[in-house]
Amino acid sequence: MIEPFAAVEIIAAKRDRNELTDPQIDWIIDAYTRGVVADEQMSALLMAILLNGMNSREISRWTNAMINSGERMDWSKLDRKTADKHSTGGVGDKITLPLAPLVAACGGAVPQLSGRGLGHTGGTLDKLESIPGWRASLTNDEMLKVLQDTGAVICAAGAGLAPADKKLYALRDVTATVEAIPLIASSIMSKKIAEGTSALVLDVKTGSGAFMSDPAKASELARTMVQLGRDAGVKTRALVTAMDVPLGLTAGNALEVRESVEVLAGGGPSDVVELTILLAREMIDAAGIVGKDPADALKDGSAMDHWRRMISAQGGDPDAALPVAREQHVVKAANSGIITTMDAMKVGVSAWRLGAGRSKQGEKVQAGAGIELHAKPGDYITAGSPLMTLHTDEAPRFERALEILEGAVTIVEGGTVNRLPLVLERIEG
């Protein structure tokens, strides 16, 4: 087969700040997936994109080429409209867990393909795998059955979904090109569009614990992804939300599952409840679902019913005791006053060092490891009172976990709290 292009021509074009044509983009994605374009050549192109950017047409075509590298899922057999949510991730972000069954209880179907954690941000699949028996890997037929039976499914993406993205993601991770907005947007949206949902709500985090710590950059990413979704015919909108402080009162796998169940039972931290209801309402509205209001579905127990059915359908036992770490260490407040700051990134890294996360793909995580917060910014705390409890199976991990927490929390007598609002911006087209 004679290839219509040479990789070096396309690299040079983007290096020289030229636009790539549609045929060039289609070919380079296909050729890289087939192994015709070498890793070092694609690495050079990714760096050129990071440095010189892409316009909206190029990003849209790049995303479409990645979608076309694999299969597209089809939920037309369902008797309900589909809606999904994607979060860019953060510390204590367990929203997917209560959100999927909540939207199902309101009359929607949620086909949620999720991932594992890497670094300081937790992974939805790691959290759910702390439930005894629960399994993340389902075939497409199994996904459809769980959706039909329970209204929601949370599982791992199959190998056939946007395989080009899988190769590119691994390459970006080792070539310092992860931060390129065109590449982030196309990576997320290629999988979400191929997933086949009719409506998508994006939760783009910003603040110290987020991937996009700068609110302006987070807004740019959100707008780019909303446009990509709309170009593909998916009703898409985004919320830019705060991640300057951990979400809720837990960071860690089983700890976050426990907190999610508290939310579904009608309790839980106010910020988790508020954001879950906000996102549920956005998903229902975007998909045109007419049903129960999410706040009512939390109060009347129907969201909890859907959670139990969803967990059971994937082999999990919703009544089983969750894993508990063998060792705990309580961090106490050094002085009295109002907590004015709590660095989400430092809390996330500390939880990771305790064993809640992994430093490389494939590494095992501790189900019970993590951090439990007893107070957050705005709360008054007295000297010697518990501030947070660290959980791990291996006591030697405490030293490094405590090291990163130095300066993570500021307590000032009569101090004022300066933090981001829960929702900074709403973007719809």
Nearest to 223 by CA among 20, 48, 59, 25: 59
Residue type at 295 in one-letter notation: A
User: CA-to-CA distance for 199 and 337, rounded, in angstroms?
Assistant: 45
pLDDT value of residue 115: 83
**Tokens read off for 223:** 């707008």
Phi, psi (deg, nearest 5) at residue 155:
-155, 175
Inter-CA distances, 320 with 131, 133, 306, 335, 342, Å: 7, 9, 17, 39, 33
Q: Is 145 a catalytic residue?
A: no
| Residue carrying structure tokens 């005791």 | 321
At 174 the pLDDT is: 84
Q: Which of 195, 184, 189 is nearest to 112 (CA)?
A: 195
pLDDT at 361: 67
Task: Confirm whether 120 is a catalytic residue.
Answer: no
CB of 95 within 8 A of CB of 203? Answer: yes
The predicted pLDDT at position 163 comes to 93
Q: Is 299 a catalytic residue?
A: no
Question: 93, 191, 117, 177: which is closest to 362 by C-alpha?
Answer: 117
CATH code given to domain 84-158+172-183+190-320: 3.40.1030.10
Given 172, 192, 235, 397, the catalytic residue: 172
Spot the catalytic one: 165, 203, 231, 271.
165
- Beta-carbon-side half-sphere exposure of residue 300 (alpha carbons within 13 Å): 10
Assigned token pair, 317: 């036992």
pLDDT of residue 244: 96
List 81, 86, 127, 397, catalytic entry: 86
Q: For the purposes of burial, counting CB atoms within 10 Å of the CB of 422, is it exposed (0-12), middle (13-18) or buried (19 or more)?
A: middle
β-pair type (235-242, 199-206) = parallel
Show the tokens assigned to 59: 């990003």
Task: State the alpha helices, DSSP H only, in 266-301.
Answer: 270-287, 294-299
pLDDT string in tens for the chain (429-residue length): 789 999 999 999 999 999 999 999 999 999 999 999 999 999 999 999 999 999 999 999 999 999 999 999 999 999 999 999 999 989 999 999 999 999 999 999 999 998 887 667 778 999 999 999 999 999 999 999 999 999 999 999 888 889 999 899 889 978 989 889 999 999 999 999 999 999 999 999 999 999 899 999 999 999 999 999 999 999 999 999 999 999 999 999 999 999 999 999 999 999 999 999 999 999 999 999 988 999 999 999 999 999 999 999 999 999 999 999 999 999 999 999 999 999 999 999 999 999 998 877 677 899 999 999 999 999 999 999 999 999 999 999 999 999 999 999 999 999 899 899 999 999 997
The enclosing H or E element of 79 equals none
CB atoms within 10 A of CB 59: 24
- pLDDT score, position 363: 79
- Please give the structure tokens belonging to residue 23: 């045929």
Task: Report the distance separating Cα 414 and Cα 429, nearest Å.
Answer: 43
Domain with CATH 3.90.1170.30 in the chain: 327-412
Considering the candidates 61, 166, 191, 192, report the single residue annotated as catalytic: 191
Contact 242, 424 (CB under 8 A): yes
187 labelled catalytic: yes
The catalytically annotated residue of 187, 208, 219, 350 is: 187
d(CA 402, CA 390): 9
Could you confirm whether 86 is annotated as catalytic? Answer: yes
Query: Smallest Cα–Cα separation from 82: which of 105, 113, 107?
Result: 107
| Residues contacting residue 136 through CB under 8 Å, at least 6 positions apart | 125, 128, 129, 155, 156, 314
Give the dihedral sign, CA 174/180/181/182.
Answer: negative
Residues of the chain with CATH 1.20.970.10: 7-53
Q: Thinking of the domain 327-412, which architecture would CATH place it in?
A: Alpha-Beta Complex (3.90)
* CATH 1.20.970.10 given to domain 7-53: yes
Cα–Cα distance, 347 to 220 (Å, whole number):
26
